[in-house]
Amino acid sequence: MKKKKNLPLYEHIEITGIAAEGKAITRIDDMVLFVPYCVPGDIVDIQVTRKKHSFMEGRVERIVKPSPVRCEPVCKHYGECGGCKWQILPYEEQLRHKQQQIVDNLTRIGKVELPEISPILGSKHIYEYRNKLEFTCSDRKWLSWDVIRAAGGMENVDNSYGLGFHIPNCFDKVLDIRECHLMPEINNRIRNTVRDFARQHGITFYNEHAHEGQLRTLILRSNHKGEIMLIVVWADDPYMPLMAHLQEQFPEIISLLYVVNRKFNDTIGDQEVHVYAGQDHIMEQMENLQFKVGPKSFYQTNTEQAYELYKVAREFAGLTGNELVFDLYTGTGTIANFVAHQARQVIGIEYVPEAIEDAKINAQINKLDNTLFFAGDMKDILNEDFIAQYGHPDVIITDPPRAGMHEDVINTILFAEPQRIVYVSCNPATQARDLSMLDCKYRVVKVQPVDMFPHTHHVENVVLLEKR
């Protein structure tokens, strides 16, 4: 049996900065030490939990002296659920660190000539800004050691009926959430009503190990009008009195759906969705455009800030009405449809077939006859033959996943030689990598960071490239 290392406890250590993934950082004897749930200026005692040759990881045992910039978190679940880690950092400081993240990635990884980077666009709302949340049902809720100790032992604690978020990196541990400030208050009332009703009527929650139990997940979506879609995911035949109760209690739910998922994993992309009451979708609006959002649709989770992001992308595209535009990684065609009125034609490409069907429907709803959409792997569809058939684009808008663009896609873009490229990214590190590959033919003209997710380290960035 391998002997467990005795890892050190460091006392009275000052936190000096923010590192990747939103963790705080300090140095001990020239070795980097990463610590969550801290802010620069905190004086803390740190218990090392992992030690490698070049870095260490640890947890805070005691806050000796809080930083002058530290603020109180709003959520009572802070520090346990793993989300909204930057609640203890004032929003202005969050934006400053995100701006610096963009600068660091573009300069250190991209190594391309840059213009002055525009100040980050902050989110108008820093709480209740999401339009979608998913909660997991578990027959056993996760409890911290502090809770167990306070109760005098596990035997004195009721750990049944957990309904909330997964503990980070633990598929089978669910923190029971009583309040969440990411969506309007009604999401708390719906979730807590489901838990209370299930407990009163003996509806069992799912066990990930035994694959037993009735209720698996709740998915809530809302639109700008406050209308709600609720998807109740069952592991077995649904208990209809719960569905009836939800319909009666919450008139805001205009789309009440259910799924029976008997698979071992909890994804519903390949499962049939049943309408219990109302319609099978909700509608979202952006300017004069309507977007149909179904239970499986992708839609930016911060609606208001998505509008600001898309306005930046449209402005950077510089459309006059005569351009052929390629919208790569188009999703449900939100950007494609958003810019279509200012373009001659827009062609959207996306990997997920269902998303492309949504894109076509949204184009029809908005009476857009100058859009074409294609489903398939980007590197397979976007090639020289495709360009020969549909024409060389004047503008390319690309919004890839966090992994960035495949090298084959970048090479095809270089072959196509559009006058302008608008690169929207949710990961400035992979964006910087891709910019360095495009640098041979394109120069960066504008950079606009946009904050879509307050209280997290995530940041969006829009870059305009012009042909040299």
pTM recorded for the entire structure? 0.92
What's phi and psi for 363, nearest 5 deg? -65, -40
- For all residues of the chain together, what is the average pLDDT? 94
Burial (CB count within 10 angstroms: exposed 0-12, middle 13-18, buried 19+), residue 467: exposed
**Residue 16 near residue 30 (C-beta atoms within 8 A):** no
For the chain, the domains span: 9-70, 94-125+302-467, 132-281
134: tokens are: 């998913």
Does residue 286 sit in helix, strand or coil? strand
Catalytic residue among 38, 81, 170, 426: 426
Flag whether pLDDT at 15 surpasses 50: yes
**Residue 384 near residue 411 (C-beta atoms within 8 A):** no
398: tokens are: 């690309």
Q: What is the pLDDT of residues 313-367, one digit of tens each?
A: 999 999 999 999 999 999 999 999 999 999 999 999 999 898 899 999 999 999 9
341: tokens are: 């009125």
Q: What is the pLDDT of residues 129-171, one digit of tens each?
A: 999 999 999 999 898 877 788 878 777 778 889 999 998 877 7
Q: Which fold has domain 94-125+302-467?
A: Rossmann fold (3.40.50)
Flag whether pLDDT at 2 surpasses 80: no
pLDDT the model gives residue 4: 56
Catalytic residue check, 84: no
Return d(Cα 273, Cα 265) in angstroms, integer.
Answer: 16
Return d(Cα 130, Cα 184) in angstroms, integer.
Answer: 8
Burial (CB count within 10 angstroms: exposed 0-12, middle 13-18, buried 19+), residue 310: buried
Q: What is the pLDDT of residues 79-101, one digit of tens each?
A: 888 889 999 999 999 999 999 99
Answer whether 9-70 and 132-281 agree in fold.
yes
**Angstrom distances, CA of residue 106 to CA of 70, 103, 115, 368, 468:** 28, 5, 11, 36, 19
Q: Which fold has domain 9-70?
A: OB fold (Dihydrolipoamide Acetyltransferase, E2P) (2.40.50)
CATH number 3.40.1190.20 is the correct assignment for the domain at 132-281: no
